[in-house]
């Protein structure tokens, strides 16, 4: 099975001015094609640094895919960087210039002189026509079956070329048959160390692999299998998933794209209960997440000032009465020295109670932690429970 690396090119990505969604898309496409991804790198618009990153990647991996730096401006230096990395010159390809001019005519525009730079690619490279944009892509075949594929940075163009040109080329060139499939189990209510202790033996396996990803108030468990077919990969994943579920039980709330707000509101819908909310100290984050999911969420009241816990309880009762909801929750996040406390008022048709939880992690994650703790409480409500 070939190995791959992704190199994202652009100073604006390196400096965090834009989010690199291209690398995420390419990574998922490679995974689905059965190609091992070893590394993702970001390089600014500098030909020498691009060349160095490519040379190092070629020593490690079989396939290098670059994204960005194929535009017409002087800081679009991917062509030059690739040429330097493989010891070649860049050369003018008349057919590419004709394609570029045709794209502009189709868009009702005239190319400028600098657009002609896009018709230059490393000598001997295989050009990839770009029917949805003006930046041609290209493939450079090197010794030892190494391949560099350079794609434009415009997401729509990159995605089209990845689907329609790159993946078919890789499947043919490397005779790809294996598939890689993943499943992610979402948990809430337990810490990473607790989960690790229960499934540590599974994390030591080589295929399928099991890995943990911790977030504030949530831990994800990713199961990845390599196999000859999707059916075989599914069977391998199911075996591990069954074991994880047996060990973690109700800590698991969802799979893959399922979100905690969706699961919590689906649970309330099953109970036939509507939900109202009063929150303070969370900047409206809990209200926003509930409002974005479908379900019986009537609405929330976001307090601009942090009330005392007793006052929060009164405000929650008042809001419940005014909205005529079955369940009303009041949530307040309170600084408490080196930690932060979350006070929760929970009013259901069966009872009313107050809860207190403490958070001692990074302060910037406290709000997300409080949101997930509250959502987890909602998904575990039961009728008739005092």
Give the span between the Cα atoms of 322 and 344, in whole angstroms: 19
> Bridge partners of 227?
179
Which CATH superfamily is 3-173 part of? MoaB/Mog-like domain (3.40.980.10)
DSSP 287: H
At 304-328, the pLDDT tens digits run 999 999 999 999 999 999 999 999 9
Give the span between the Cα atoms of 20 and 9, in whole angstroms: 10
∠ Cα 297 299 305 (to 5°): 135
Q: Which residues contact 356 (CB under 8 A, 6 or more apart)?
A: 341, 342, 343, 344
Q: Which residues contact 29 (CB under 8 A, 6 or more apart)?
A: 162, 163, 166, 167
∠ Cα 30 31 33 (to 5°): 65
Provide CATH code, domain 260-379: 3.90.950.20
Q: What is the pLDDT of residue 94?
A: 87
Strand locations in 100-145, DSSP E?
A: 120-122, 126-128, 137-141
> Two tokens at 212?
């943990």
> Two tokens at 384?
């008739």
The 3-state DSSP class for residue 381 equals coil
Q: What is the pLDDT of residue 60?
A: 94
At 29-38, the pLDDT tens digits run 898 888 889 9
Q: What is the pLDDT of residue 206?
A: 85
* CATH class belonging to 179-255: alpha beta
| pTM assigned to the model | 0.69
Whether residue 144 contacts residue 3, with contact meaning beta carbons closer than 8 Å, is answered with: no
Residues in the chain, pLDDT under 70? 107, 386
Q: How many CA atoms lie within 13 A of 304 on its CB side?
A: 0
> Bridge partners of 319?
none
Residue with tokens 């979100």: 259
Whether residue 165 contacts residue 128, with contact meaning beta carbons closer than 8 Å, is answered with: yes
Whether residue 283 contacts residue 259, with contact meaning beta carbons closer than 8 Å, is answered with: no
Where exactly are the structural domains of the chain?
3-173, 179-255, 260-379
- From the list 137, 64, 41, 136, the residue with the least C-alpha distance to 98 is 136
Give the span between the Cα atoms of 287 and 374, in whole angstroms: 11
Q: What is the pLDDT of residue 107?
A: 67
Q: DSSP labels for 27-54?
A: HHHHHHTT-EEEEEEEE-S-HHHHHHHH
Q: Please compute Rg for the chain using Cα positions.
A: 27
Alpha helices in 107-211, H assignment, sequence order:
155-161, 167-173, 192-203
Handedness of CA 55, 145, 127, 39 (dihedral sign): negative
Helix, strand, coil percentages (3-state) for the chain, rounded to 5, are: 45, 30, 30
∠ Cα 314 319 325 (to 5°): 125
At 58-85, the pLDDT tens digits run 999 999 999 999 988 888 999 999 999 9
> How many percent of the chain have pLDDT more than 90?
70
| 108 burial type by CB count under 10 A (0-12 exposed, 13-18 middle, 19+ buried) | exposed
Give the span between the Cα atoms of 242 and 256, in whole angstroms: 15
Give the 3-state DSSP-derived string for 70-96, with helices as H, strands as E and coil as C. Answer: CCCCCCCCHHHHHHHHHCCCEEECHHH
């Amino acid at each position: 099975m070939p190995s791959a690396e992704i190199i994202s090119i652009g100073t604006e990505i390196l400096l965090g001015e834009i989010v690199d969604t291209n690398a995420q898309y390419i990574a998922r496409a490679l995974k689905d094609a059965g190609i091992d991804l070893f590394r993702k790198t970001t390089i600014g618009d500098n030909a020498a640094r691009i060349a160095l990153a490519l040379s190092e990647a070629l020593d490690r991996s079989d396939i290098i895919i670059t994204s960005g730096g194929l535009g017409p401006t002087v800081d679009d230096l991917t062509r030059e960087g690739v040429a330097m990395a493989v010891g070649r010159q860049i050369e003018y390809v008349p057919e590419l210039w004709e394609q570029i001019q045709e794209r502009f005519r189709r868009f009702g525009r005239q190319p400028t002189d600098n657009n002609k730079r896009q018709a230059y690619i490393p000598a001997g490279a295989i050009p990839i026509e770009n029917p949805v944009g003006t930046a041609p892509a290209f493939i450079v075949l090197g010794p030892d079956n190494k391949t560099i594929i350079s794609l434009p940075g415009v997401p729509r163009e990159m995605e089209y070329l990845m689907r329609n040109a790159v993946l078919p080329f890789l499947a043919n060139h490397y005779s790809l048959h294996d598939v890689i499939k993943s499943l992610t189990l979402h948990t809430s209510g337990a810490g990473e160390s607790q989960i690790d202790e229960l499934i540590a033996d599974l994390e030591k396996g080589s295929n399928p692999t099991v890995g943990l990803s911790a977030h504030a108030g949530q831990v994800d468990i990713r199961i990845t299998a390599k196999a000859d077919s999707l059916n075989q990969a599914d069977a391998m994943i199911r075996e591990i998933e069954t074991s994880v579920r047996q060990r973690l039980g109700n800590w698991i709330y969802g799979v893959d794209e399922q979100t905690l707000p969706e699961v919590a509101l689906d649970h309330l819908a099953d109970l036939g209960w509507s939900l109202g909310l009063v929150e303070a100290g969370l900047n409206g984050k809990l209200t926003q997440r509930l409002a974005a999911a479908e379900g019986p969420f009537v609405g929330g009241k976001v307090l601009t000032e942090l009330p005392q816990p007793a006052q929060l309880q009164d405000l929650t009762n008042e809001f419940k009465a005014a909205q005529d909801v079955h369940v009303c929750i009041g949530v307040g996040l309170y600084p408490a020295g080196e930690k932060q406390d979350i006070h929760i008022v929970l009013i259901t048709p069966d009872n009313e109670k107050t809860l207190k939880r403490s958070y001692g992690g990074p302060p910037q994650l406290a709000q997300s932690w409080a949101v997930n703790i509250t959502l987890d409480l909602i998904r575990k409500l039961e009728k008739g429970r005092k």
